[in-house]
Structure formats: C-alpha cells, structure tokens
C-alpha cells in the first residue's frame, strides 16, 4: 500500500448520478464530527506524530483540512457567480509549514471546519443539476465542474481521516 494514499486516489465515476452526489455531500457533512471524534482523546505526542516518516503530523493534517476546504468552498462560490473563472491555486505544503499550522491547538481548526462545512453543505444541498455543471478553471488542471469537485473533496476528507487513523494504529478504511 502507498501510505500516502491509504484509500487510493480520487477517481470520478463516468456518470455522476444523484445518488452518488448525495453520498458525497453526506460525507462532507459528517467529516467535522468524524475528525473531532478521532482526535478527541489523542495525546499531545500523538497529535505531533507524523502519519508516515516525513509526512504531516495530526496537527498539520487537522489544520490542513480547513485550509484546503476554504479554498474549495471559495472556488465553488466563484463558479456559481462568475462564468468559468480562473482560480488561484495555493501551495498546500507551504501553508502546512506556517507557524499556526505547525503549533496551534487543533480545536480552532475543528471549529472552523465545523462552521465551514455547515455553510458548504447548505449551499451544496440547495443546488440544482444545472448548478452542479457550472465550473471553474484551474490553471494547471483545467476545467472542473462543481459536481466532480464535490466528489474530490468528499474523497479528500476520507483520505486525511485515513491518515489520522494510521497514527492511532487503526485500520485505514475507505
Ligand atoms: Ni490534502
């Protein structure tokens, strides 16, 4: 197993059905609670342990989630309000090395993730089929619809949950 990708890489299905999208949005809705539950009784030593040699610590993983998902949420809002806007990528590795991401307690990011996902899921549940076909343009990756981006971020939450589970010595799950 590639420890960087304990649940594999994201692969969008050929056809994104209503049911698949519904399942993705549910995954996004429950993520903050899952992360909170997983780190609740972790020791400081565990919080500062990397999930693999040279990998991010639990602390960095928890701070990375809102960093990443705030960007995703903004990209979706841009796609909904502009015509295929070109979005601004960010250097996630460097963001994870900024002092707050390396040293702060995880609680503020758990709160941030909870509040953010509340907004995000309310927005996603309000969208019709035509809205999900709207897109932004990533300068390196090309045109991305809101639909496939929803799947990518449902995967992204599970991907990092699996990393945190690796630190706890629990079996990674898909
Ligand atoms: Ni990530």
Mean pLDDT (whole number) for 150-159: 98
What percentage of the chain carries pLDDT values higher than 90? 94
Domain carrying residue 133: 18-167
157 alpha carbon – ligand 1 mean position (Å):
8
Contact residues for 132 (Cβ-Cβ < 8 A; gap 6+)? 16, 21, 145, 146, 147, 150
Could you tell me if residue 172 is inside a domain? no
Across the range 89-105, mean pLDDT stands at: 97
Q: 1 is written with which tokens?
A: 């197993």
DSSP 49: S
Determine the average pLDDT of the residues in 45-68: 96
Residue 11 falls inside a structural domain: no
Ligand 1 geometric centre to CA of 62 (Å): 10
**Which ranges in 40-135 belong to alpha helices (H)?**
44-47, 58-81, 92-95, 99-103, 107-126, 129-132
Number of domains in the chain: 1
Q: Rounded to an integer, what distance in angstroms lies between the CA atom of residue 10 and that of residue 107? A: 28
User: Is 50 a domain residue?
Assistant: yes
**pLDDT confidence tier of residue 90, bands split at 50, 70 and 90:** very high
- Taking only the tens place, the pLDDT of each residue in 12-31 is 999 999 999 999 999 999 99
> From ligand 1's centre to the CA of 67, what distance in Å?
9
Count the neighbouring beta carbons within 10 Å of the beta carbon of residue 82: 12
Work out whether the CA dihedral 141, 146, 148, 149 comes out positive or negative.
Answer: positive
Give the Å distance between the CA of 160 and the centre of ligand 1: 7
- Find out whether 89 and 138 touch, Cβ atoms under 8 Å: yes
Integer Cα distance of 113 and 70 in angstroms: 9
**Tokens at residue 47, please?**
């919080």
- Between the CA of 55 and the centroid of ligand 1 the distance, in Å, is 12
CATH number, residue 157: 1.20.120.450
Q: How far is the CA of 69 from the centre of ligand 1 (A)?
A: 9
């Amino acid at each position: 197993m590639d420890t960087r990708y304990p649940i594999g890489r994201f692969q969008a299905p050929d056809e994104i059905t209503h049911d698949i999208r519904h399942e993705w949005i549910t995954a996004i809705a429950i993520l903050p609670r899952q992360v909170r539950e997983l780190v609740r009784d972790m020791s400081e030593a565990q919080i500062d342990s990397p999930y693999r040699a040279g990998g991010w610590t639990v602390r960095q993983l928890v701070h990375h989630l809102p960093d990443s998902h705030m960007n995703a949420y903004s990209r979706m809002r841009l796609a909904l309000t502009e015509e295929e806007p070109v979005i601004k990528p960010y250097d996630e590795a460097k963001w994870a090395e900024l002092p707050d991401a390396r040293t702060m307690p995880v609680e503020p990011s758990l709160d941030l993730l909870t509040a953010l996902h509340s907004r995000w899921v309310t927005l996603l549940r309000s969208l019709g089929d035509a809205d999900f076909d709207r897109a932004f343009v990533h300068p390196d990756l090309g045109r991305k619809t809101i639909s496939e981006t929803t799947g990518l971020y449902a995967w992204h939450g599970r991907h990092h949950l699996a990393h945190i589970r690796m630190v706890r010595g629990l079996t990674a799950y898909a």
